[in-house]
């Protein structure tokens, strides 16, 4: 079985390479009208350039997974702006997508915690749809929407999980089917545990992105060894390798916070549970030091007996 590893957004080993440079609406409002569009274009161009830099860096280091920044386009979903960001950058988006396709990279998006379908407020659901459409448009402009995912959490419980989940099932119907087709759900560290998230995913035919750190912070009744195979089965209809998020606690006291690197000892129990399944798995590293943490964890895990490093960020375990 093969394990591939990737990281989130910014290649920390590159200088001034953030693909998330932005501008507040307050600052936008202060600019003269003729400057507003110019600034939006300037920031977006920089973010797309830095996305390309990260992809080239990943190719050079054989890092096959990459979560792109949700902030590539500033103010793309702000109700007072919501500008056409695709037309001016058709060429650049296409170049990003071609690089992804040419090198067989796996890319994804993870909108922020406010993109959810459990709120009793209709405007929150409306904004969630707008945000999901924004992410889809970027993937579509790249030409990689069929091979990518947009990952979100279920959301809050609002004091009553049963009623909230019923509202989720209702609200998710407002999401266009072509976008729902590529979305995933992730278990979280406080509210919806792995078992609860799995039930929703099974009911809605949505793949589950399993977060191991979140699971350890928010355990469920069923043991993990009984959950992993059903979790992986939620991916079958997409024909995509299941994905797991990896991070480790900053400290025992700050257990939910992510450390700079990923502690291999924290991860090893999960790998032992995966071994009998003999399935390929992709791992997204969510540690603070991103690409550095990704490459360090691959190095650390390659020292396990029977594990062979077959690429910059790929392991094989027979």
Q: What is the pTM of this model?
A: 0.96
Residue keyed to tokens 């069929």: 146
Alpha carbons 72 and 96: distance in angstroms, whole number: 12
- Nearest-5° angle of CA 93, CA 98, CA 104? 130
Cα dihedral across residues 266, 235, 299, 48: positive or negative: negative
Residue keyed to tokens 């200088």: 15
CB within 8 A of 222, min separation 6: which ones?
195
Alpha carbons 240 and 232: distance in angstroms, whole number: 10
Which of 280, 235, 231, 239 lies closest to 146 in space, CA to CA?
A: 239
Q: Tens digit of pLDDT per residue, the chain (318 long)?
A: 999 999 999 999 999 999 999 999 999 999 998 899 999 999 999 999 999 999 999 999 999 999 999 999 999 999 999 999 999 999 999 999 999 999 999 999 999 999 999 999 999 999 999 999 999 999 999 999 999 999 999 999 999 999 999 999 999 999 999 999 999 999 999 999 999 999 999 999 999 999 999 999 999 999 999 999 999 999 999 999 999 999 999 999 999 999 999 999 999 999 999 999 999 999 999 999 999 999 999 999 999 999 999 999 999 998
Burial level of 126, CB count in 10 A (0-12/13-18/19+)? middle
Please tell me whether residue 11 adopts helix, strand or coil conformation. Answer: coil
Q: In the chain, what's the furthest Cα-to-Cα distance?
A: 63
3-state secondary structure 123-184: HHHHHHHHHHHHHHHHHHHHCCHHHCEEEEECCCCCCCHHHHHHHHHHHHHHCCHHHHCCEE
């Amino acid at each position: 079985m093969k394990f591939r590893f990737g990281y989130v957004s910014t290649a920390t080993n590159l200088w001034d390479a953030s693909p998330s440079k932005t501008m507040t609406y307050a600052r936008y409002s202060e600019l003269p009208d003729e400057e507003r569009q110019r600034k939006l274009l300037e920031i977006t161009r920089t973010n797309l350039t830095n996305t390309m830099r990260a992809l080239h860096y990943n190719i050079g280091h054989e890092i096959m997974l990459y979560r792109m920044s949700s902030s590539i386009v500033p103010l793309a979903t702000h109700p007072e702006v919501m500008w056409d960001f695709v037309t001016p950058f058709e060429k650049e988006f296409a170049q990003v997508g071609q690089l992804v396709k040419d090198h067989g990279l796996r890319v994804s998006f993870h909108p922020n915690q406010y993109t959810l379908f459990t709120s009793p407020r209709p405007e929150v659901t409306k904004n969630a749809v707008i945000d999901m459409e924004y992410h889809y448009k970027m993937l579509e402009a790249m030409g990689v929407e069929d091979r990518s995912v947009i990952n979100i959490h279920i959301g809050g419980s609002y004091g009553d999980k049963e009623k909230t989940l019923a509202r989720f099932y209702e609200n998710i119907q407002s999401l266009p089917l072509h976008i729902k087709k590529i979305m995933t759900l992730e278990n979280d560290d406080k509210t919806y545990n792995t078992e609860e998230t799995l039930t929703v995913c099974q009911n809605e035919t949505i793949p589950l992105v399993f977060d191991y750190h979140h699971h350890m912070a928010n355990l469920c009744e069923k043991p993990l060894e009984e959950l992993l195979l059903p979790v992986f089965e939620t991916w079958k209809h997409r024909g995509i390798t299941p994905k797991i998020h990896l991070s480790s606690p900053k400290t025992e006291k700050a257990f939910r916070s992510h450390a700079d690197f990923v502690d291999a000892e924290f991860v090893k129990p999960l790998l032992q549970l995966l071994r009998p399944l003999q399935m390929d798995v992709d791992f997204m590293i969510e540690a603070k030091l991103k690409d550095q943490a990704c490459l360090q964890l691959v190095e650390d895990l390659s020292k396990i007996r029977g594990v062979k490093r077959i690429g910059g960020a790929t392991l094989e375990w027979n």
